[in-house]
């Protein structure tokens, strides 16, 4: 089978319809929209374009299935997730290729995402049987306290395009484990991964109506009526802070439980006592994972002045050596950005920095080809007034900014409305603890460039979000606590 034949096959085998109540349906209007390959600009296929009527059909299914699904034994829910994990790993190669075609990341990296995504199912399959309550005596001895943890109810899950499989499993996993039904709305740029995931869960034994998938180009028109309906009791969203704010306003009318992973502006701090080789390795991971299109991507590189020139030189050499191209091609390490608008934004930020005195050490412009490529870029001498310092880049650009003292570095790192993750490289233990405690972020990568792990609580502070996903606390977002007071015992 040729490469082109395999690409055609993995796209063809995915349903292009809406999953509602356990069955595949066309949109009521018959509308469809095109899914584009960002490496070529060509159309891969068309999928159903849902409207409000379709969305309410999905909500009807979720509401109808909720009570029976909540009664399923925790072990049974865990076994469905375990089978889902196994199927994801069995089909890792095809699912990775599918993701690369619709999102652009290199196949090797897409395979890593499938494994990462599958781990959420494995983790929450084990957590499903550990939803514990409590029983205790009242302080005055006159009553007993019974504490229950029950599913919050039908949940709206909204996922982004940059990690189309992992962001789905990170939300679906705890919802299934807790006993919640779901309506999933994936990003319109990457609907195929979500549809493939839904089909895997059907095969794993997920009952009809527990998960519906609505693909649409009218995100606001589809989601807002559901959030205001009253039957949705939980919203989990990953995306931009601006959209998150609007969703919070819409959720307020029904006082919905919300968890949100929003924008980031991650500082990457390198002190002069750091292992420079380790710092450059960490910088490559923190910056270039997912082509820089990640909320956790290092956005601002603050490097102590004495070592800044050497750090920038080494980072530039590593970035320049990366192979740019279509993610399906051999040895490619950097794929295209998601669309033309994303590339235009990155170029605008680079132009602004250069206009304020920054020097382009590597890259600085679009790559060759029909797709939305942008060359890995390192800038030195970046002004703190540059837009790069305040705007989430979402692309393969590393701006290097110097500092003199620890206090100066911390002030600059915390001078942002965002607070998702920060990175610190130092060999001084006392400094490591001081800086980690002082950074205003929900996560810190200390001498490492990747923090995401299904077994750890992922999330931010300030305008980077609410709640946590993953870890022991991830399932708490999908359960309510009920207290029963027992008298006369």
Does residue 488 register a pLDDT over 90? no
Contact between 336 and 368 (Cβ < 8 Å): no
pLDDT attached to residue 291: 96
Residue 489 has pLDDT above 80, yes or no: no
pLDDT bracket for residue 55 (50, 70, 90): very high
pLDDT in tens, 98-140: 999 999 999 999 999 999 999 999 999 999 999 999 999 999 9
Domain ranges for the chain, please list them: 3-262+464-484, 266-446
Average pLDDT (401-405) is 97
* pLDDT tens per residue, range 316-340: 999 999 999 999 999 999 999 999 9
**Does position 180 have pLDDT exceeding 80, yes or no?**
yes
What pLDDT band is residue 384 in, cutting at 50, 70 and 90?
confident
Q: What percent of the chain has pLDDT over 90?
A: 97
Tokens of 476: 């708490």
| Both structure tokens of 210 | 């527990």
Q: Tell me the C-alpha distance between 266 and 464, whole Å.
A: 10
CA distance 67 to 24: 23
- Distance from C-alpha of 52 to C-alpha of 36, rounded to nearest angstrom: 24
Cite the active site residues. 261
pLDDT band at 85 (very low <50, low <70, confident <90, very high): very high
**Mean pLDDT confidence for 459-464:** 97
Q: Can you tell me the distance from the alpha carbon of 336 to that of 111, in angstroms, rounded to the nearest whole number?
A: 17
The string of pLDDT tens digits covering residues 273-289 is: 999 999 999 999 999 99
Structural fold of domain 266-446: Aldehyde Dehydrogenase; Chain A, domain 2 (3.40.309)
pLDDT score at 3: 81
pLDDT-derived band at 76 (thresholds 50, 70, 90) equals very high
pTM score, whole prediction: 0.97
pLDDT band of residue 2 (cuts 50, 70, 90) is confident
Q: With respect to CATH, is domain 3-262+464-484 assigned 3.40.50.150? A: no
């Amino acid at each position: 089978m040729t490469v082109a034949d395999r690409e055609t096959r993995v796209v063809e085998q995915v349903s292009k319809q809406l999953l509602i109540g356990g069955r595949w349906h066309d949109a009521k209007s018959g509308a469809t929209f095109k899914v584009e390959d960002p490496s070529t600009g060509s159309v891969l296929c068309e999928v159903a374009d849902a409207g409000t009527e379709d969305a309410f059909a999905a909500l009807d299914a979720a509401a109808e299935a909720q009570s029976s699904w909540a009664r399923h034994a925790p072990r049974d829910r865990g076994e469905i997730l375990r089978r889902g994990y196994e199927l994801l790993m069995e089909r890792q190669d095809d699912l990775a290729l599918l993701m690369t075609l619709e999102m652009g990341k290199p196949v090797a990296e897409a395979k890593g995402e499938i494994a990462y995504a599958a781990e959420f199912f494995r983790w929450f399959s084990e957590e499903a049987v550990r939803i514990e309550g409590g029983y205790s005596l009242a302080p005055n001895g006159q009553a007993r306290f019974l504490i229950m943890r029950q599913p919050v109810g039908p949940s709206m899950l909204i996922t982004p395009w940059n990690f189309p499989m992992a962001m789905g499993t990170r939300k679906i996993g705890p919802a299934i484990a807790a006993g919640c039904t779901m309506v999933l709305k994936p990003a319109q740029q990457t609907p195929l991964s979500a549809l493939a995931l839904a089909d895997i869960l059907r095969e794993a034994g997920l009952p009809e109506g527990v998960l519906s998938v609505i693909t649409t180009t009218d995100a606001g028109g589809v989601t807002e009526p559901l959030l205001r309906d009253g039957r949705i009791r939980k919203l989990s969203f990953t995306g931009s802070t601006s959209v998150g704010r609007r969703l919070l306003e819409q959720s307020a009318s029904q006082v919905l439980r919300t968890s949100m992973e929003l924008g980031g502006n991650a500082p990457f701090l390198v002190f002069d006592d750091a292992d420079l080789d380790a710092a450059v390795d960490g910088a490559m991971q923190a910056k270039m994972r997912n082509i820089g299109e990640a909320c956790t991507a290092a956005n601002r590189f603050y490097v102590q002045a004495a070592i800044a020139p050497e750090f920038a030189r080494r980072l530039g050499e590593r970035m320049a050596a990366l192979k740019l191209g279509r993610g399906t091609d051999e040895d490619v390490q950097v794929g295209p950005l998601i669309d033309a608008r994303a590339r235009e934004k990155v170029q605008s930020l680079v132009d602004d920095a250069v206009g304020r005195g920054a020097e382009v050490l590597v890259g600085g412009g679009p790559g060759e080809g029909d797709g939305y490529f942008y060359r890995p870029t390192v800038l030195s001498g970046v002004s703190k007034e540059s837009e790069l310092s305040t705007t989430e880049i979402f692309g393969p650009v590393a701006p290097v900014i110097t500092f003199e003292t620890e206090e100066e570095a911390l002030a600059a790192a915390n001078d942002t409305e965002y607070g998702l993750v920060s990175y610190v490289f130092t060999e001084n233990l006392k400094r490591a603890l001081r800086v980690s405690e002082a950074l205003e972020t929900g996560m810190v990568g200390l001498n490492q460039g990747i923090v995401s792990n299904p077994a750890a609580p992922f999330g931010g502070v300030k305008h980077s979000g609410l709640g946590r996903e993953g870890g022991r606390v991830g399932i708490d977002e999908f359960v309510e606590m009920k207290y029963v007071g027992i008298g006369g015992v």
